[in-house]
Amino acid sequence: MSLPGFDASPEEMRSVAGNLSGIIMQAANTVSALRSMKLDPSDFSTLGAAVAAMNAKLEASQVSSLNTLLSLLQEFNDNVRKVADTYQDQDRRVADAYAGRQTELAAVSSTLWSSPSAERLAAAATGASLSATAQPGSVDNVLGYLRSAGIGDQQHRNFADAVAFARWLDAGPANQQATGVIGVYAGLARDLGDVPGGVRSGDIVVLAFDRGPDPVIAVVGDRGQLYNHGLVQPSFSGLADTRVYRPISAS
């Protein structure tokens, strides 16, 4: 669920306040005119003192009500101006703070996603794949690469296949934390180019196909190639249920 947005224009607020000031001045002139229209009690000589008293009370009530309205309008007008000034000041502060934090935020992002952990994992998988026959379904190989790279707390666990491993990772953040990775993509893909932002060196990729080859698990190396005891070249004959897990820095 998303919250509705809004736009606030200090210039338009001040324009409204200016128009309201004009209305307040006109109302003040009306009050003055009403006071000047006060009738002399002698004008009611034939009707009696009771009518004269009632007229005086009505006139006083009208003037009092209009004065109260003017006071409220003036207070509202002042508050509109204050809101416009405060909004503009806070907007400027946020803009200044955001501009000042860009370099710091970029550094944090770089530290998280370009960690030495990912480089070590990619190196371990690539090094174990030289002159070897690929084993694209072996979860044990990938767990071994994680241990070699010093990532996570790789206790001995048995998984039936790559899909079972992915389901275990997705079962809770504690499992991903223990493995030293974080899930960055889960969805259907025609190939790895469909992954938003692409895959990076050191990513662990799990592919499950509706038809065709068995599930695949591999580590991304240089130029986006996949390795698991050899070069893995999955055949995307259709959409594949794709999971991407990225090593995170322990620091």
DSSP symbols for 119-162: HHHHHHHHHTTTT----TT-HHHHHHHHHHTT-S-------SSH
User: Can you give the pTM of this predicted structure?
Assistant: 0.56
For residue 123, give its domain range: 116-247
Phi/psi of residue 160, nearest 5 degrees:
-60, -40
Residue 5 belongs to some domain of the structure: no
Same domain, residue pair 70 and 148: no
Same domain, residue pair 181 and 200: yes
DSSP secondary structure code for residue 201 in this structure? T
Residue 38 CA to residue 215 CA, distance in Å, equals 95
Same domain, residue pair 133 and 104: no
CB 218 within 8 A of CB 162: no
Same domain, residue pair 88 and 101: yes
Same domain, residue pair 126 and 105: no
Same domain, residue pair 122 and 242: yes
> What is the number of structural domains in the chain?
2
Same domain, residue pair 150 and 31: no
Same domain, residue pair 107 and 176: no
Same domain, residue pair 105 and 207: no
Residue ending a domain, choose from 50, 80, 113: 113
Residue whose structure tokens are 């204050």: 82
Residue 171 belongs to some domain of the structure: yes
Same domain, residue pair 25 and 96: yes
Same domain, residue pair 23 and 106: yes
The CATH number given to whatever domain includes residue 243 is 3.90.1720
Interstrand relation of 226-227 and 231-232 (parallel, antiparallel or unpaired):
antiparallel
Any bridge partners for residue 188, and if so which? Answer: 241
Residue ending a domain, choose from 113, 139, 168: 113
Residue 204 CA to residue 200 CA, distance in Å, equals 9
Q: What is the pLDDT along the chain (251 residues), one digit of tens a residue?
A: 444 545 666 666 666 666 666 677 677 767 666 666 665 666 555 555 666 666 666 677 777 777 777 777 777 777 777 777 777 777 677 776 666 555 554 454 544 455 688 999 999 999 999 878 999 999 999 999 999 999 988 677 889 999 999 999 999 889 999 999 999 999 999 999 999 989 999 999 999 988 778 999 999 998 899 999 999 999 887 889 999 999 986 54
